[in-house]
Amino acid sequence: MRVVVQNDKFRARLQRVALRSGLAALACAAVVSGCSAPGTDPGSGGAPGRQPGRGGPDRPTDPRARLAAEHERLVAATRRWDLDQVPLTPPAPPAVKPRITPRDGFEVDGQREENLPPVFTTVPTRQKVVFLTIDDGDNKDPDFLRMMSDLKVPYSAFLSNYLVKNDYGYFRRMQSEGHTLNNHTLTHPYLPGLSYEEQKDEICGMQAVMKKQFGKAPTVFRPPYGDYNGDTLRAAKSCGIRYAPIWDEEVFVDHWEYRDDDRSLHPGDIVLTHFRGRNDWNGTMVDDMRRFLNKVTRDGYAVARLEDYL
């Protein structure tokens, strides 16, 4: 397969960032190709990872060499997982978190007065980032863990206990690699069909499981099917939940679905997929992630960590 060069805008941004931080060679090192002419590199004028006049060959302690080596590693991972392009590197987490408000039309009565967790599909940001969220927890494919850690793609898992309880260890591995585990109820019911107390049992019950199994109760919760009412958000708040993200796009192994008529990604969009395998659809989690990453990269988006923006 062929690894395609990142888009020009991204390359320009990388070069700006690199110059600002005095790492001119990174601008070349961090893209697959396309800026190899020494004249474009006002820093060292040398190949990435080398420091002419400062000792010659690569030194593992040199930050530029480390960055170049890391990029080479990423290019190899891109080939190994058969992606079209190297995934774009997300910007640093925002120093000032955006103010998250409910999506228009997704508020409940008392939303503002009771300071209920907002239901939203997009994080307000101008950065070309999207957030990957993966629900339920049925399929537990070790290749998926390997792929995402190889490619350094962050994601948030929304777990429902009845599907994850046969292998909490799988999700602990995720957590140990820096991914976030969030609440998706004990048994995945249609919450608006339940009383306040029943909803509270579903949400607070899952908080307790997560605290016990994963060491902490999350502040982020997603109602199953994206369905909720005022009681859902009230119950969630009482269990320590602060945010109720749903999604703007959903990716399946063989197609995408869009909430908005323009059928395209927007900065800050939350993308949903599910832990599914060949029993559920015509492919593996790896195939699903390949579809996801190929599109977001092609459209110029990096995948960032949702919780960094909350």
Residue nearest to Zn ion (CB): 135
Rounded to whole angstroms, what are the CA distances from 280 to 142, 191, 249, 277, 298? 17, 24, 19, 6, 27
Range list of β-strands (E), the chain: 119-120, 129-136, 156-159, 180-183, 244-245, 249-251, 256-258, 270-274, 302-304
Closer Cβ to Zn ion, 41 or 136, answer by number: 136
Closer Cβ to Zn ion, 81 or 131, answer by number: 131
Please tell me the distance from the alpha carbon of residue 308 to that of residue 302, in angstroms, as a whole number: 14
Closer Cβ to Zn ion, 102 or 224, answer by number: 224
Q: Tokens representing 183?
A: 């609440």
Closer Cβ to Zn ion, 10 or 155, answer by number: 155
Judged by CB under 5 A, does residue 87 bind Zn ion? no
How wide is the angle at C-alpha 161 spanned by C-alphas 168 and 174, nearest 5°? 35
Fill in the amino acid letter for 192. P
Query: Shortest approach of Zn ion to residue 222 CB, angstroms?
Result: 7
- Chain positions 221 to 260 lying near Zn ion, rule: CB under 5 A, are 224
Query: Shortest approach of Zn ion to residue 136 CB, angstroms?
Result: 4
- Chain positions 134 to 193 lying near Zn ion, rule: CB under 5 A, are 135-136
Query: Shortest approach of Zn ion to residue 125 CB, angstroms?
Result: 25
Closer Cβ to Zn ion, 61 or 279, answer by number: 279
Which one, of 24, 220, 233, 43, lies nearest residue 133 by Cα? Answer: 220
Letters for 206-225 (x = contact with Zn ion by CB under 5 A, - = none) are ------------------x-
Query: Shortest approach of Zn ion to residue 157 CB, angstroms?
Result: 11
Please tell me the distance from the alpha carbon of residue 123 to that of residue 291, in angstroms, as a whole number: 22
Query: Shortest approach of Zn ion to residue 45 CB, angstroms?
Result: 54
Closer Cβ to Zn ion, 135 or 288, answer by number: 135
Please tell me the distance from the alpha carbon of residue 233 to that of residue 200, in angstroms, as a whole number: 10
Query: Shortest approach of Zn ion to residue 44 CB, angstroms?
Result: 51
Strand 249-251 with 256-258, pairing: antiparallel
Letters for 112-141 (x = contact with Zn ion by CB under 5 A, - = none) are -----------------------xx-----
Q: Tokens representing 304?
A: 């960032």
Closer Cβ to Zn ion, 136 or 249, answer by number: 136
Task: Give the interface with Zn ion as residue ranges (CB under 5 A).
Answer: 135-136, 224
